[in-house]
Every structure is written in C-alpha cells, then in structure tokens.
Amino acid sequence: MFLLMQESVRDLTPTPTPAPHSIHCSPTTALGSSSRVKTHSCGTISSLISHNTKHCCMFKSAEHWDDVFRGLSRKYGQVFTVWFANTPLVVITDIDIAREAFHKRNLTGRPSSYFAKQLSNDNHREVVFSDGHEWEAIRRTTQPAIQFSIVNTNRSKRKYSTLDKLIYLTVDCVDQTVKSMIDREGLDKPFIVKDYIFYMFFNIISASILGKSYTMDDPELKRFKYVLMDVGHEVGARFMLWDFSSFIRLLDRRSVQKQQQILTEMSLMIRNKFKDHYADYSDAIERDICDALITAKNEALREGKEWAPYLTDDNLAMSAMSLFLGGISTSQNTFQWIVLLMCYYPEVQRKLRQEIETQIGDRMPTHEDRNRCHYVMAFIAETLRFRNIIPIGVPHRALVDIQIVALKPINVNQSVFWYT
C-alpha cells in the first residue's frame, strides 16, 4: 500500500510524503470540535481527538488547524494534497483559485464513501451525498423549501429562517429544554448539559421539518440520538475511520450493524412521516419543511421542469433526513463551544447578557435583532472561526479534469476541498 501511495504522488498536486498510518481528521469530540490537527513528521494529518474538556485549550492551542494548513500551504503552495488514510485529498487554500475551481458544476460531485452510500444509493438519493443532475434537482428543491417557505395564501415568500413561526418554535423548544433541565437536575448542582443541547436542537430541527417535537424520554428520540450522537461516543474516533477501512468496520462489526440498523430504521420512519403529510396537505398553508418540499415538487411537476422526475417522495424524504444529519450535530457542537467559552470568559458572558438586555429585554426576539446585537453576532462568528465544527468542510469530487493556472491538474473523480 505504501509503494502504491508513493507511486500515485507523481500525478498529484504537491503533497507531503504519504504514509499509510495517517488518520482522517475528525472534528467530533465530547464537547464539540477541538479542531486541533497534528502533522506527523511525514506531513500527513491526524486528528487529536479529545473526549476530555481538559484537552480543549481554548484560545491557547499550540496546534491550531489553521496554523497547520497555513504551514502546509507555505511549504507546498496554494494547492496541495493531504492524505486521509490511503485517500488523497486536494486542498485549495487560495480564494481566487478556489473560486475558479469551484466555478459552475466542475466540483459539485461528492466522493463515494461508506456513509454516503447509506444515504444516497440506487434506492434513494438525498441532498448532501448525491451528485450530478440528481443533486441539482434535489438542491433546487430543498434549498428554496428551506429558504423561501410560502407563508400565506397570496403566496408571498419569505425566508423560512426569518419567519416569526421559526422564532416561536425555537422559543418553545428552548423553554421546554430549560424546564426539563430544572425538573431533572434541580438548581443546586452542576450537571452535564450535552444531552440537553442535543435535545433542544433536535426539537428545533424536528419541529421545523416534520412539525413534531419530542419529550426527552421518547423512545423514537432515543433511536435518533444513537445515530446522531451516541454511536460516535460509543466507538470514539474509530467511527470516522469506518469510512476509510472495511477492516476497521469488520473489527467494529457489532457497532457497525447497530448503526446501520438504526439509520435504516430512522430513514424509514422519516419517509413514512413525509408520506403522512399528504393526508392533510394543502398548498394554501405550509406547516413545516415537508409541506414546503411537497409544494416545490408539485410546482416542478406542474411547470414541467426537466428535473421534476428526480423529485420522488423517497428522495425528498431522504433530503429531509439529511437536514437532521447535517443540522443537529453542527449546531449542537457549535452551541456547546459557545456555552464553554462563555463559562471560560465570564467578562464576555457579562457583555453578551448586557447587550441582549439592552437591545431585546423581555420582549420576544425578532430576526431584525441580529442587526442590533453586534457583540452577540461577533461572538458567534468568532466561535465559528475559532472552533469550527467542520473546519475543512465536506469534500467535493471533481466531475471533470480541472486545470488551474500553471499547477498540476486536478483529475476527474479526485476529492477536493477548499480552506481559505
């Protein structure tokens, strides 16, 4: 394997010498993204995965992933290759080169992987791991469904994220979470907040997409939690390696089987809930994102759009499921960092509270408050920059050979991500 990896280097953009022991960089920790990446002497990247808060040296990490990538860029140029196990990944670190490379459809593919195949396969496709025409069709439908939900009978459109409905729904989920915390933990002792934060974001996403929220004891919620959170903690960093090594999947076969079974169960459950929406669906009112997807599908069919055949109920329901997979752990881990940083920097917490009290006070927050709460918005942006849950994004796949300026070409099917 080592010799094969060395041999393949010739055709790649500049790369540190690969070694077969390199490990995929996993951003997941018990607390959230530690995002601390180490370079081996050979220059490959491995993750430092900490399940212990003591190892998350906030604002003090000597090996910040940003320094690592900038260091590699200085050494190997603006486009170089890193290795995750035996998989080469092209990294583009210059914004103009990234713009040129990601222009149009050239890089809209996704590399095939163990996890990708569970979601997008011959039976159904979804929005994150499909590519080509199917991805375009599903993306054309899911994005407007989320961003532009039809809110009233005269069909005027507003971004779903700016609707009062989303604010009320979010406030309800936060209130419900705080109530559960107080009922279960009391007010007089410290406790671990992780599960509650999961619960809060799960309900925000579930109520937005399916129109249904859960109590913490609900067995359905516990099944979802296993796939979205617990399996990662059960097997630790190895969970990320399942994508790269069938040998590790064989070693972990019990957890692998359990994960597959629960994911299949979850996808079936969401497909059924999606189909249930037809029973009392009306295009005059959208209750949730499933309704918005059905409306978008009907519109595409009515208008004879060429992509309409890709909008099967299974594909749309799986895309709704991808919003659970893509939206919960990202928000949950980011929020966990927010909580931790506020505890670590009480002065920052005081200023945040002061701005919220001055600008919002006791009234219901509105979307426009974002323009008034500059300190809060800066704090969120800085948290996302400092402890980004997906610092290197989700890899794309080249659909064609791409020649960038005087550099070696990025070959068709090669995996690429940008880091600028």
Contacts to ligand HEM by CB under 6 A = 127-128, 139, 205, 322-323, 326-327, 330-331, 334, 389-390, 393-394
**Full DSSP string of 236-248:** TTHHHHTTT-HHH
- Cβ-in-10-Å burial (0-12, 13-18, 19+) of 260 comes to middle
Kindly tell me which of 28 and 322 has the beta carbon lying closer to ligand HEM: 322
Q: Which residue is nearest to ligand HEM (CB)?
A: 327
Q: How far is the CB of 414 from ligand HEM (least distance, A)?
A: 15
Q: How far is the CB of 205 from ligand HEM (least distance, A)?
A: 6
Q: How far apart are the first and last CA of the chain?
A: 31
Kindly tell me which of 262 and 318 has the beta carbon lying closer to ligand HEM: 318
Q: How far is the CB of 145 from ligand HEM (least distance, A)?
A: 11
Q: How far is the CB of 251 from ligand HEM (least distance, A)?
A: 29
Kindly tell me which of 203 and 235 has the beta carbon lying closer to ligand HEM: 203
Kindly tell me which of 56 and 127 has the beta carbon lying closer to ligand HEM: 127
Residue with tokens 């249930």: 276
Kindly tell me which of 259 and 336 has the beta carbon lying closer to ligand HEM: 336
**Is the separation of the CB atoms in 214 and 221 below 8 Å?**
yes
Q: Report CA torsion sign: 69, 74, 75, 81.
A: positive
Q: How far is the CB of 184 from ligand HEM (least distance, A)?
A: 26
Q: How far is the CB of 328 from ligand HEM (least distance, A)?
A: 8
Q: Which two tokens stand for residue 113?
A: 């992987």
Query: 3-state SS of 62-99?
Result: CCEHHHHHHHHHHHHCCEEEEEECCEEEEEECCHHHHH
Q: How far is the CB of 80 from ligand HEM (least distance, A)?
A: 18
β-pairing, 87-92 vs 415-418, is: parallel
Kindly tell me which of 43 and 109 has the beta carbon lying closer to ligand HEM: 109
Q: Which two tokens stand for residue 227?
A: 């796939």
Kindly tell me which of 174 and 394 has the beta carbon lying closer to ligand HEM: 394
| Separation between Cα atoms, residue 109 and residue 399, nearest integer Å | 6
